[in-house]
Chain A
Amino acid sequence: MRHLIEPMDLSSQETDELLDLAGAIMEDPAKYAHKCDGKKLATLFFEPSTRTRLSFEAAMLELGGSVLGFSSASSSSAAKGESVSDTVRTVSCYADIIAMRHPKEGAAKVASLKSGVPIINAGDGGHQHPTQTLTDLLTIRSLKGTLDNLTIGLCGDLMFGRTVHSLIRALLRRTNIRFVLISPNELRVPDYIREELKTNRFEFAEVDRLEKVIGELDILYMTRVQRERFFNEEDYVRLRDSYILDKAKMDLAKPDMIVLHPLPRVNEIAVEVDDDPRACYFKQVLYGKFVREALILNLLGVESC
């Protein structure tokens, strides 16, 4: 049985094929509207989410399937102390596939070891968020026409930002990608990510000023400094306003640079940027639904890529 716990669970070829399938769904959604008739997706969200949960649910509904689940730990038996393993074993009896988000790192891996149905990691703490990565890859490929020969700036919370870790890993399989890592000292990428960049001999730079490097970028991937990842409120308050993308900074960027963000944003992208044609974060949301449709079809074995 296949699960998707981290982006590397899919080979490079499988990822490409999945993106192709997502592209085919975008072109002709009606062709796929009944592919999951009679199938059920359970969304187990032990941590709040708007986009990811609704995106999974919308994806399954568009494929003709149905959805069940919970949207916070307090409305599940986790509040009574039930383990992830027991919850997943139980839900495996009700659903054909599970999308799970949990605040602790490795929770999805634990689920995959006990589940009787495919598990999709919809985010496990600050660790991995593979469907956001697939969303990002589909967005980049659709808008830039390629996943190679790009300079990508990743900005904000690079330490706890799971979307950043997953995206870097996925792009390490491509060719001629240059990474510009923009963050305050305290929120730099974890050592293991830096090691992977070095081991794979990718060019990367770690800088602390966005305006100095924005002109070099083909893609600017903004992230939110996440309050829920901090044990200390003081550190959060000190770092949250480190980078704010506004019109003045956008004026320094290339005319064809695209701005992505996994959302939700707080204040790191000024609302005035939303009308700039280079602001693509809401398009990214739409791509996310299509790529999740492709993933559900693939993991259920309904449609091979």
Chain B
Amino acid sequence: MLNVDSVERGLVIDHIQAGKSMDIYRILELDKLDCSVAIIKNARSKKSGKKDIIKIEDKIDIDLDVLGFIDPNITVNIIDGGKIIQKKKLTLPDTVTNVAFCKNPRCITAVEQELPHVFKLVDRSKVTYRCIYCEQEYDSKK
């Protein structure tokens, strides 16, 4: 298996659905960081066969709501002295702003570019988010 140095002090975002790490890298704007960031794609996973992992060599504040929206099964480990000192549990946020974008061409957001794209959780059990303006359902596959 590919060997990437373990993190001494920072964050490990683990159990990312395989192939989603670059989306998270983009949404969390990790490109703006000065520290080392490692993206591991298709790592072996006992649970799901394969997974992605992101390692960040710095203790930064990340938006856990955004991660919860992308996939509540992701785990965030806080590392200090080379050890996990905290595991953050993710939950589904009630709303997310400018993380997902409404694809409905009839939505007001299609013509008014400055409007924030806001999705609201309308069904927790089915994990359904809808645009707060036109009520179009968010479909992560589109």
Contacts and interface: CB of A to CB of B under 8 A. Distances in A.
Interface of A: 83-85, 102, 104-107, 109-110, 124-127, 191-192
Given A110-B133, A127-B135, A192-B137, A105 B104 contact: yes
A110 B135 contact: no
29 contacts: A83-B114, A84-B112, A85-B115, A102-B108, A104-B107, A104-B110, A105-B104, A105-B107, A105-B108, A105-B133, A105-B134, A105-B135, A105-B136, A106-B109, A106-B131, A106-B132, A106-B134, A106-B135, A107-B108, A107-B133, A109-B108, A110-B108, A110-B112, A125-B106, A126-B106, A127-B106, A127-B134, A192-B130, A192-B137
Contacts, number: 49
Given A83-B112, A84-B112, A109 B133 contact: yes
Interface SS of chain B: helix, strand, loop or mixed? loop
A105 B106 contact: yes
Sorting the interface of chain B by its residue count into under 10, 10 to 19, 20 to 34 or 35 or more gives 10 to 19
B107 A110 contact: no
A124 B134 CA distance: 9
Contacts of A105: 104, 106-108, 133-136
Contacts of A85: 112, 115
Contact of A104 (B106, B114, B132, B135): B106
Interface string B101-142: 000101111111011000000000000001111111100000
B110 A110 contact: no
Residue among B110, B132, B135 with the highest chain A CB neighbour number at 10 A: B135
Contacts of A110: 108, 112, 115, 133
Given A104-B108, A105-B108, A105-B133, 10 more contacts: A104-B106, A104-B107, A104-B111, A105-B106, A106-B132, A106-B133, A107-B108, A110-B115, A125-B106, A127-B134
Contacts of B136: 105
A126 B135 CA distance: 11
Contacts of A102: 108
Nearest to B136: A105
Nearest to B126: A195
A242 to B, nearest CB: 21
A106 B104 CA distance: 11
Interface in B71-129: 104, 106-112, 114-115
Given A83-B114, A110-B115, A192 B135 contact: yes
Contacts of B104: 105
A124 B133 CA distance: 10
A270 to B, nearest CB: 31
Contacts of A106: 107-109, 131-135
Contacts of B109: 106
A127 B136 CA distance: 10
B103 to A, nearest CB: 12
A107 B109 CA distance: 9
Nearest to A128: B135
A22 to B, nearest CB: 27
B129 to A, nearest CB: 12
A104 B109 CA distance: 9
A57 to B, nearest CB: 25
A77 to B, nearest CB: 14
The 4 closest A-B pairs by CB, nearest first: A106-B133, A105-B134, A106-B134, A104-B108
B108 A84 contact: yes
A104 B137 CA distance: 16
